[in-house]
Amino acid sequence: MEKEFIIQLSSELFKVKTDIERELQRGNKTNERLYALILKAINFLKEKRTGLPISKSLPVYHYYENKYGITNLFMIKLTQSSRGFYTNVSGGQFKILQIILEVEETHKGYERKGHY
């Protein structure tokens, strides 16, 4: 039996996404770019594509490990300067949860987390 991949957002990112949806409904387009990047990350995984694995020795890995307790980390290149980060978690024998942890709009956002 083929494994089923289930895409989820971290609770923090889910709140950001729903907050932006409310803003957009009110005509506030301040965070429209971030919203588009979140959707792009979701669609990337829906297409059964795989991000780049991040080495456990890198500081950016340790940031996510400390914050979310992850055991693996992948990066999705969304635009030239935007990145999405996700982890895979077992959801049982035939399910893999792909949890999008965060989406960074700029290099500076994830460079800070990696102490580059």
**Would you state the structure tokens that stand for residue 6, as one six-digit string?**
């289930």
Beta bridge partners of 76: 84
Distance CA 32, CA 58 (A): 31
Domain that holds residue 60: 4-113
Q: What is the pTM of this model?
A: 0.92
Q: Which of 77-81, 89-93, 102-106 has the lowest mean pLDDT?
A: 89-93
CA dist 103 → 7, 81, 89 (Å): 14, 11, 18
The structural domain count of the chain equals: 1
Task: Give the CATH number for residue 99.
Answer: 3.30.2310
Binning pLDDT at 50, 70 and 90, where does residue 115 land? low
Strand order in the sheet with 74-77: 4-9, 95-104, 83-90, 74-77, 52-53
pLDDT attached to residue 89 = 95
